[in-house]
Amino acid sequence: ELKVEQNPLFLSMQEGKNYTIYCNYSTTSDRLYWYRQDPGKSLESLFVLLSNGAVKQEGRLMASLDTKARLSTLHITAAVHDLSATYFCAVDLTSGSRLTFGEGTQLTVNP
């Protein structure tokens, strides 16, 4: 059974600081997704990583994938309050339509 673990589960950081969220998974996969969720809202797609060594960046967020280590990271650079949200990683073992999600990392960026 595929297991996806994120850490930390809760992260409180100051504006301007850098931090990394980690996503470990138990079964080999070449497809790793990152989503953002604001309170009471749906999931917003951030990144889809499709191969070992893949790195994608959008604004202050950068995601990477190491399939050999079964690890993905979401790095936050110079955090701003607008980044406060819950971030989920998800792994797909099939054809892109059945995702197994981690528990989520609740990020709070304080002024």
Partner 1 sequence: ETGVTQSPTHLIKTRGQQVTLRCSSQSGHNTVSWYQQALGQGPQFIFQYYREEENGRGNFPPRFSGLQFPNYSSELNVNALELDDSALYLCARRMTGESYEQYFGPGTRLTVT
Q: How far apart are CA 25 and CA 34, in angstroms?
A: 13
* Contact with partner 1 (CB under 8 A) among 3, 16, 26, 50: 50
C-beta neighbour count of 28 within 10 angstroms: 11
**Are the CB atoms for 19 and 76 separated by under 8 Å?**
yes
- Stretch 53-82 residues interacting with partner 1 (CB under 8 A): none
**Least Å distance between CB 60 and partner 1?**
21
Residues lying near partner 1 in the complex (CB under 8 A) are found at: 4, 31, 33, 35, 41-45, 48, 50, 88, 90, 92, 94-104
